[in-house]
Amino acid sequence: MYFTNKFSTLAFAVVAAMVAQTAANPAPVSVKHTIWTIPLYTHSSYLQVASTVSTDEFLKWLDTTDADITYVGKPINGSVPRAAADIMVTYCTKRTQNVCGGTCTVYNGGPTCLSAPGTTCLSATGNVGFCDHGGCSGSCNQLSSCGTPLDNGFCSTPGTSSIIVQA
């Protein structure tokens, strides 16, 4: 009897959650489990690329950081519009707690492979790849799948040796 009450309570909670979710979001996607088919719903506000920052956030970090910065690529000027295809990337050598800093390089430009030995964390205005070997080879991951997000839109990327900037 006790088990039946617990199961009934659990089943009611699952059904109530599904009804509430159905009423709130109109775009169903089905995910099959071994016992049930559970509808999941997506909303565009939840589909943001993880760990990318806006141009304004990027420029604010540049204005307020005490990191030692080297600039490469096209000049960054907040009052001059950037080309739509350009991506800004900051990659740094030190991580302290959730803060990325130390010696950093800031790249602004189009598609390229950046040599970035010693990189431990990075941030970008678009999705970039980071690889454990030079020449954008070896094992590579995407910023959008950052496993350890840090403050100010940075991602912990220890062992990074090169960065893929795509259009």
Q: pLDDT per residue over 72-113, tens digit each? A: 999 887 655 667 779 999 999 999 999 999 999 999 999 999
* pLDDT for the residue numbered 110: 93
Please tell me the distance from the alpha carbon of residue 148 to that of residue 156, in angstroms, as a whole number. Answer: 5
* pLDDT for the residue numbered 94: 96
146 and 103 housed in the same domain: yes
104 and 27 housed in the same domain: no
* pLDDT for the residue numbered 15: 44
151 and 78 housed in the same domain: yes
pTM of the entire structure?
0.67
42 and 92 housed in the same domain: no
19 and 99 housed in the same domain: no
* pLDDT for the residue numbered 26: 44
61 and 131 housed in the same domain: yes
CA angle 106, 109, 111 (to 5 degrees): 115
Mean pLDDT calculated for residue range 103-128: 96
* pLDDT for the residue numbered 107: 96
131 and 158 housed in the same domain: yes
Range(s) of the domain holding residue 24? 2-46
7-57 per-position pLDDT tens digit: 455 444 444 444 444 444 444 444 444 444 444 444 333 333 456 899 889
CA angle 139, 143, 135 (to 5 degrees): 40
* pLDDT for the residue numbered 6: 53
Q: How many domains does the chain have?
A: 2
32 and 86 housed in the same domain: no
146-166 per-position pLDDT tens digit: 999 999 999 999 999 999 999
Q: Find the CATH number of the domain harbouring 136.
A: 2.60.20.10
* pLDDT for the residue numbered 76: 85
* pLDDT for the residue numbered 77: 77
144 and 127 housed in the same domain: yes
35 and 12 housed in the same domain: yes
